[in-house]
A and B are shown apart, each in its own frame.
Chain A
């Protein structure tokens, strides 16, 4: 979760209760990575929104490669997901979530993990776009994202 969201009065505390990891997107931030490493080492899962922010122009923003670095380093698979429908709090409509096939991660011995992370994130981005295509086909639309 973008760090500034957790620093907001009122809502920041609520967001903090959701066990989110703060990340500073304005500068090189290693703290989130260390926390995420510990969670994965304990067998936990992470839910990552790799665009790094809200998409405001109905297009999927480019996925940030840092989001795949942990997978590249640890071999933890990436499970692509697509969420359909705008979120309406409290009495909102139900959202639909389409979960794709896991993307396995096996960084070659002679490849730098950061380079492999870029490959993984490109693969993940394509997989998510494909999921939105499936939703578009099934539901006649996919909420906020166009192709």
Chain B
């Protein structure tokens, strides 16, 4: 799976699970900032979603990995197969 495909899957997961409007979510949108405005509880769903999609565990991952779809995708690429 290439980077673009991973980003697309992550975006779909966020749109479905967190009810983020698809047209408002760019791959570089700040998820926990002013762009999208997620809060800390949403990170639980992100972790569960990433695990379900890619088998990658994000429990305990540094906060900066959760900032955007891009950073999530990068984390997945770096940790897949661990």
Residues of A bordering B, CB below 8 Å: 24, 27-31, 33-34, 37, 65-66, 69, 73, 109-115, 117-118
Of chain A, the residue at the smallest CB distance from B19 is A112
Q: How far is the CA of A62 from the CA of B20 in the complex (A)?
A: 28
Using a CB-CB cutoff of 8 Å, which residues 28-55 of chain B contact chain A? 38-48, 50-52
A28 lies within 8 A of B52 (CB): no
A29 lies within 8 A of B59 (CB): yes
A24 lies within 8 A of B39 (CB): no
Set of chain A residues within 8 Å of B41, measured between Cβ atoms? 65-66, 69, 114, 117-118
Give 10 CB contacts A-B under 8 Å. Answer: A27-B59, A28-B43, A31-B51, A31-B59, A65-B41, A73-B45, A109-B19, A112-B38, A113-B45, A114-B41
Q: Min CB distance, B21 to chain A, in Å?
A: 10
Decide yes or no: A28 and B59 within 8 Å by CB, A34-B52, A37-B48, A111-B19 being known contacts.
yes
How many pairs, one residue from A and one from B, have CB atoms within 8 Å of each other in the complex? 67
Decide yes or no: A114 and B57 within 8 Å by CB, A28-B40, A30-B51, A34-B52 being known contacts.
no
Of chain B, the residue at the smallest CB distance from A115 is B39
Q: Min CB distance, B37 to chain A, in Å?
A: 9
Decide yes or no: A31 and B57 within 8 Å by CB, A66-B44, A112-B42 being known contacts.
yes
Q: How far is the CA of A73 from the CA of B19 in the complex (A)?
A: 11
Set of chain B residues within 8 Å of A115, measured between Cβ atoms? 39
B60 within 8 A of A: yes
Q: Min CB distance, B49 to chain A, in Å?
A: 8
Q: Min CB distance, B31 to chain A, in Å?
A: 12
Residues of B bordering A, CB below 8 Å: 17-20, 38-48, 50-52, 57-61, 66
Set of chain B residues within 8 Å of A117, measured between Cβ atoms? 41
A30 lies within 8 A of B19 (CB): no
B45 lies within 8 A of A28 (CB): no
Q: How far is the CA of A69 from the CA of B51 in the complex (A)?
A: 17
| Seed contacts A33-B48, A34-B51, A112-B20; 17 additional CB < 8 Å A-B pairs | A28-B44, A28-B58, A29-B60, A30-B43, A30-B59, A31-B47, A31-B51, A31-B57, A66-B41, A109-B19, A110-B19, A112-B19, A113-B17, A114-B39, A114-B45, A117-B41, A118-B41
